[in-house]
Structure 1
Amino acid sequence: MFLETYHAYEQYAFGYDVLKPITMNGSNFDSVLAGWGGTIVDAMSTMIVMGLGDSEEYKRALEHVKKTDFTSTSVHHPEREALGVVSLFELTIRYLGGLVSAYELNGERPEERFLVDKAISLADKLAVGWYKHNRIPFNYVNINEGKPDNLSDTANYAEAGTLTLEWSRLSKYTGDDRYRNLSEGSAIALSENEGIFPNLYAMEIYPTNESTSGDLVTFSGGTDSFYEYLSKYPYLIGDPQHPFLETYGQSIKSAKQYLVSHPQLKPFTFLTSYSEKLFNGTRNSFSHLGCFAGANIALYGRLRRSDEDTQLGLEIAESCAHIVDAASTRLEAGGWGWRDRKTGRAQGHKFVSPGQILHEEDFGVFLTIEDFNGSPEIQESVLYGYRMTGDPYWRDLGWALFGAMKTYLDTGRGIAGIQNVNDRSSKLDDETPTYFYAEIMKYLYLLFDDPDHYSLDDYVLNTEGHPFKVQHNEAFGKVQGNFPYKRLNL
């Protein structure tokens, strides 16, 4: 499927950020990727993982990168007015991560060193996000003008705290510690802030004075990958004593106390959100984006040799994988809610319709966001489940995810999104996101590949699925193996 869909991109959209598989053209409209051919860069590490690092497709990708100027853009960001504004977060995880990972995975070939040079040229433009002496960067920066877009902006924890893997890798390949220091300093500043609960942080923060805005606590979008990198960064650099691990350990401890929830009708395990201002406390809801937590909490558990945390992470992963049971297409919904086992109430939901209640009685949850836009977090957690346990059950879950995608989203020219996963005749969305190539295809390929190929004991994946080689340290526990996971009684 990867080559089939990538060939469609090459035929109809090469050089554009995304393929529109229904109308058969490319688009930079409403793109967060600056019009530089985001699909190409996001696909490169997947090509190498699949043994295509010397293929004609990869050679064409290299030629595209070589001639692309990553220091300016003529594409408007969909959420900003001024020309030249880009997202530090998005361009870091996709372009910086994609370029440097491709260079590393393909053997650090001298003739491909320009991949690092291109990443450096972009990073130097993005670095204006760290305005004056701020430790926390603004996310939206105008690379054409060399300044933050709006000095009154907040940043969220994910935007400012998901930079360490990529920027530290730039320091490794340049010898310039400035990149590492900027990204690590931001994550340190975020982790030093006072949480709503111990080491569970409000999502929004002002870079200028490091004060928080609002009180929303969630493992879903907005803070998700900040928590993810608290374990992955120390693992990458081989530092089991890094304070980020202690921070994340306390985050997980607080999540167990304040966020872990079990629906009353199914033995699922999910993480709620919390806000006194928005929900008057807890909201029994979880999202596809939040399902990264299954893989990541389990990863932390394996690294720290904590069976309890590994079990919790895999329970979340398994629960997320079974959310497809609640959709007639067997595709993953964007979000869902439930009545809690302890209270019998759908806490934080102002209204739950009779139809949603009936749906919950059948499937244990009711859907709150019914579209699927190719988000890869469930596939990611299924991969980790298999690699950590060796249980073919996880491969069965992954095969079901692949089959539903093939049945309902494959246009013959690429994979589309869908507006309602609970309607088999639902209208499709005309876009193949770049992370389909970077993540979904890579996770599913690795799920069915030899577990020693790109072992999770040798590589850590950034939040866009781009692998980096870890610095081994025997003080970390082994990630892969035969962990005795106790499956949910579904």
Structure 2
Amino acid sequence: MAFARRRGILVLVPSAAFLLMLLYLWNTDSAPLAPSRYLAGGGTVLHQPVQDWQPRPEFAFWSQVPQHYPPSAVRGLPRGKPVRFPRVQAAKFPAEASGTRRRQLRERRAAVKRTMARCWGAYRKHAWLADEVTPVSGGPKNPFGGWGATLVDALDTLWIMGMRAEFREAVDAAETGINFTTTNIRDVNIFETNIRYLGGFLAAFDLSGDVRLLRKAAEVGEMLYKAFDTPNHMPITRWDWQSAARGHKQEAPGSVLLAEIGSLSMEFTRLSMLTGEPKWFDAVQRIAEAMAAQQDDTSLPGLWPLAVNARSAVFNEGTLFPLGAMADSAYEYLPKMAALLGGLLPVYRTMYEKAMDAALRHNLFRPMNPTGEDILVAGQVRVEGKGRYSLEPQGQHLACFMGGLMALGGRLFDRPVDMDAAVGLVNGCIWAYKSFPHGIMAETFYAVPCNKSSPDARAVEDLPCRWDEDAWKLEVLRKAGRDAQGKDAAALAAAADAVIANHRLPQGFTAIPDRRYILRPEAIESVFVLYRVTGAEELLDVAWDMFTAIEKATATELANSEVRDVTSPEKPKPADSMESFWLGETLKYFYLIFSEPDLISLDEFVFNTEAHPFRRLVA
């Protein structure tokens, strides 16, 4: 399918000739992964870039757009002998020893694959080369530029699940059917384009070795690099690409979200590693160096504020410090960059350790719960003055990634305190899933923190956390904006009970601002990572309960849909939306947790924030 010409947008005319592709043995589910192209020897990392990676001439538009502000120098990738990190994955997986359990895992894997096949079939039939399929009405939807977001996001999932015929067809379609010189949107979201498209093509190449995928990655990389063509080389995160294509000068914005500017490093670095072209690594390393230089000077030292100034490269002004939405992946990429580059840039470990020390002290809290479970939730902190911090005890599905992050960082950098926190955070998300009537966590919620009055007073694990129903109900009333003054205990209890019933609040939850489940992956992501790190067999059953609950609540005749309200006693109503991360992330993590531990081993791969696995540089 060709992309339609759109008004006011440059479109390149494809040539009739096709470049010959490399042939690979991929006809069976057991086809081997492509070999690593990075070898260590003689104390030096021998970078061996892939040959013939340049985009085809008809798709090379962005590399030919002149730069207004070329950097005076471009730093190269680091060289040296990779650090020998501790083993990430558990040495033993008890589940692998049981023939009964192995058969059960095969059945669970097959169930996940059936869901993937159903959703892929719906996309192929009703929205081929569009960004998304609407899973109820069965039409195409293009929120991410119309560049086939679901197709690209799902490439590595298809490969991992052994769906090789579907993979080949998708690669064929992507090679000529996705054109990054035309789109129906004015402003390109650099972050989303980077993690879905650039990440998707790079991971699919790392797994399959099909050089066409690296060429498509380079096309995306050339386009995204143009967003860095500003006086100070900071990127424009919501980018008017038509203006740039016409040769107009650009300037980075005064306010950008931390996650959007801080989560470009893995993809740009991997592209430089594979192509040998250092400009992408140089571009993102400038951001990392600015973040590192200012990390100790924020109003909550160790963490960066939610919004930063790209125009002046100021990353230390602001008073709100979340770990979840709009900040999350900036922290996620710190240990992952250390792993990706074999520890050759120690700054990423340093930044991670400072950030987690601050998060442990300020952001993580123990929510009071009726069964007394020893759990943690990642909240957000507002700085109210020098040394004065206010914890907002909000839980987010997005913030569930923190458990996996701290498990990975704790293992890589031998930090037992991070491993302990990882277990608490994963259990906190499991608790939230189990607390709701359909076994699925809501998008956001509030709880009563045991350390509410002074989040930085002591280590969270030292604080007692006993269930107090009266304290819970008082907080329910406060969050609902009800006045508790002058009311006796019976009146307060009655008023709280009414709010609890009307708002369908499970015990321990004080408010649920966003009741949706949008097919998010973060909870199963952290359950998967913790399983691979610890080998804890009970996590397999937790994952299966999550999968069956999600499938039951979200399955449609065509695919799976975001649902509007997981607190509803009836089956939640679908919202007719299935973002590409359902196939790219959620189903991938469900499949992998039920697979053999050496399939995409965490000692060989590191996932970007869209669950695309990149090969690590290892000693």
TM-score by length of 2: 0.70
Q: Does 1:379 align with 2:482?
A: no
Alpha-carbon contact 2:299-2:318 (below 8 Å) kept: no
Q: Residue in 2 aligned with 1:456?
A: 602
Measure, in 1, the Cα distance between the counterparts of 2:579 and 2:335: 27
Q: Residue type matched to 1:195 in 2?
A: T
Measure, in 2, the Cα distance between the counterparts of 1:152 and 1:445: 40
Q: Does 1:17 align with 2:126?
A: no
Measure, in 1, the Cα distance between the counterparts of 2:616 and 2:475: 42
Greater RCO structure (CA 8 Å; 6+ sep)? 2
Q: Residue in 2 aligned with 1:3?
A: 117
Give the aligned CA root-mean-square deviation in angstroms. 2.3
Measure, in 1, the Cα distance between the counterparts of 2:134 and 2:251: 32
Q: Residue type matched to 1:404 in 2?
A: A
1:86 aligns with one of 165, 172, 188 = 188
Measure, in 2, the Cα distance between the counterparts of 1:70 and 1:236: 29
| 1:325 CA displacement | 2.1
Q: Residue in 2 aligned with 1:330?
A: 439
Q: Residue in 2 aligned with 1:34?
A: 145
Measure, in 2, the Cα distance between the counterparts of 1:100 and 1:152: 28
Alpha-carbon contact 1:142-1:148 (below 8 Å) kept: no
Q: Residue in 2 aligned with 1:79?
A: none
Q: Residue type matched to 1:234 in 2?
A: A
| 1:240 CA displacement | 6.2
1:51 aligns with one of 162, 165, 173 = 162
Q: Does 1:134 align with 2:236?
A: no
Q: Does 1:246 align with 2:350?
A: yes
1:178 aligns with one of 250, 273, 279 = 279
Q: Residue in 1 aligned with 2:255?
A: 154
Measure, in 2, the Cα distance between the counterparts of 1:356 and 1:450: 47
Deviations 1:116-156 (A, max 9, x none): 12221222222222243424312011223326887545211
Alpha-carbon contact 2:531-2:539 (below 8 Å) kept: yes
Alpha-carbon contact 1:128-1:141 (below 8 Å) kept: no
Deviates further, 136-145 or 441-450: 136-145
Report SS of the residue matched to 2:578. coil
1:101-140, aligned counterparts within 5 Å? 101-106=203-208, 108=209, 112-140=210-238
Q: Residue in 2 aligned with 1:404?
A: 549
| 1:471 CA displacement | 1.3
Alpha-carbon contact 1:126-1:143 (below 8 Å) kept: no
Q: Residue type matched to 1:469 in 2?
A: R
Deviations 1:438-470 (A, max 9, x none): 101110001000112111111100100000111
Q: Residue in 1 aligned with 2:313?
A: 210
Measure, in 2, the Cα distance between the counterparts of 1:9 and 1:352: 44
2:449 aligns with one of 335, 340, 344 = 340
Q: Residue in 1 aligned with 2:513?
A: 368
Structure-2 change in CA distance of 1:138 and 1:346 (3 Å): farther
Alpha-carbon contact 1:71-1:143 (below 8 Å) kept: no
Alpha-carbon contact 2:562-2:575 (below 8 Å) kept: yes
Task: List runs of 5+ in structure 2 lacking aligned partners.
Answer: 1-114, 454-470, 483-495
Deviations 1:376-433 (A, max 9, x none): 1001001012111212211111111111111111002101011100112432110111
Q: Residue in 1 aligned with 2:399?
A: 290
Q: Residue in 2 aligned with 1:80?
A: none
Deviates further, 152-161 or 296-305: 152-161
Measure, in 1, the Cα distance between the counterparts of 2:286 and 2:475: 39
Q: Residue type matched to 2:415 in 1?
A: S
Measure, in 2, the Cα distance between the counterparts of 1:185 and 1:391: 40
Q: Residue type matched to 2:523 in 1?
A: I
Measure, in 2, the Cα distance between the counterparts of 1:149 and 1:395: 50
Measure, in 2, the Cα distance between the counterparts of 1:366 and 1:393: 30
Report SS of the residue matched to 1:275. strand
Q: Residue type matched to 1:185 in 2?
A: R
Q: Residue type matched to 2:351 in 1?
A: T
Greater CA radius of gyration, 1 or 2?
2
| 1:435 CA displacement | 0.2
1:269 aligns with one of 376, 382, 386 = 376
Measure, in 2, the Cα distance between the counterparts of 1:350 and 1:91: 37
| 1:365 CA displacement | 5.8
Q: Does 1:232 align with 2:336?
A: yes
Q: Residue in 2 aligned with 1:467?
A: 613
Alpha-carbon contact 1:142-1:149 (below 8 Å) kept: no
Paired residues in the alignment total 456
Alpha-carbon contact 1:338-1:360 (below 8 Å) kept: no
| 1:328 CA displacement | 1.1
Structure-2 change in CA distance of 1:289 and 1:66 (3 Å): same
Alpha-carbon contact 2:518-2:562 (below 8 Å) kept: yes
Q: Residue type matched to 2:422 in 1?
A: G
Alpha-carbon contact 1:4-1:413 (below 8 Å) kept: yes
Q: Residue type matched to 1:197 in 2?
A: L
| 1:364 CA displacement | 5.2
Q: Residue in 2 aligned with 1:483?
A: none
1:474-485, aligned counterparts within 5 Å? none
TM-score by length of 1: 0.88
Q: Residue type matched to 1:137 in 2?
A: P
| 1:368 CA displacement | 2.7
Q: Residue in 2 aligned with 1:430?
A: 576
| 1:95 CA displacement | 0.3
